[in-house]
Structure 1
Amino acid sequence: MHNQNMSDIIEAYLKKVLGQDEQVEIRRSEMADRFNCVPSQINYVINTRFTVQQGYLVESKRGGGGYIRIIKVKLLDEAEMLDMMIDIIGKKISQKNAYSIIERLFESEMLIKREANIMLAVMEKSLLNSSGADENELRARLLIAFLNNLKYE
């Protein structure tokens, strides 16, 4: 366990719980006590590793009885999932978020490894940055084109 950082350990714990249930409700301070870390570490893990792009919905309520609820998103079909991803992408998307979407497609078995690797290669900052256009806009257009192609295969 020494090879993992605290964020990885917290993420693994939450994903293990989500493997048993479709949602988990936590209190930030209780999680921080459990893992002997600061509450902002819990926020960091939730904000970076439990995003919509990765298939999670996060709800929170502040205050004394506050909580953070993480829900594993289950979509009705592949077309609905692709439409949701297209909406999330919007006009611009970072390389990191594009990678998360491609990873989610691979995990959902909508892409084989070779297709995923090709998509990842096309999302590279070094490739898109050389065109002179806004790389995040270009990345979004390319990723949306990929997703639309998957929808109408």
Structure 2
Amino acid sequence: MKTIERRSTCPINYSVEIFGDKWMLLLLRDLMFNGKNSFLEFRASDEKISSAVLTDKLNTLLIEGIVSKETSPKNASKFLYLLTDKGINLVPFMVEFLNWGSQYNPNGGPKSLLNEIKKNKKKAITQLKAKLRSQRHSHEENIIKAL
């Protein structure tokens, strides 16, 4: 796997070098808000990411420790990409991004989540983080059961 050469030690530069293109944010969207976690599910998104670009972006997320790559307990030839704690800590950022985008593009977005954010953003973020951690924990339990 390739490593990312940093242009500087600036925290904003660090973030931009990882997330500075549309594909990374769309992958995070799919992982956090759309329940997607396999290569084929990501490929099925409306934006039609190519296989080569998807592979590159997933590898970057793996290298950076934002996702882990696990074998599916239901299908040994299928891999699942799960957010790590580092990835889950991006939820507040993605919620703000979602909220901003829905304000200026009111035709899109998950309405139920947007309503929860409008009612109580802090609670919505806490619940989403807990849900993502629970999904990760459930996957780990399924692996143990499969052994």
After TM superposition, the score normalised by the length of structure 1 is 0.30
After TM superposition, the score normalised by the length of structure 2 is 0.31
Larger Rg: 1
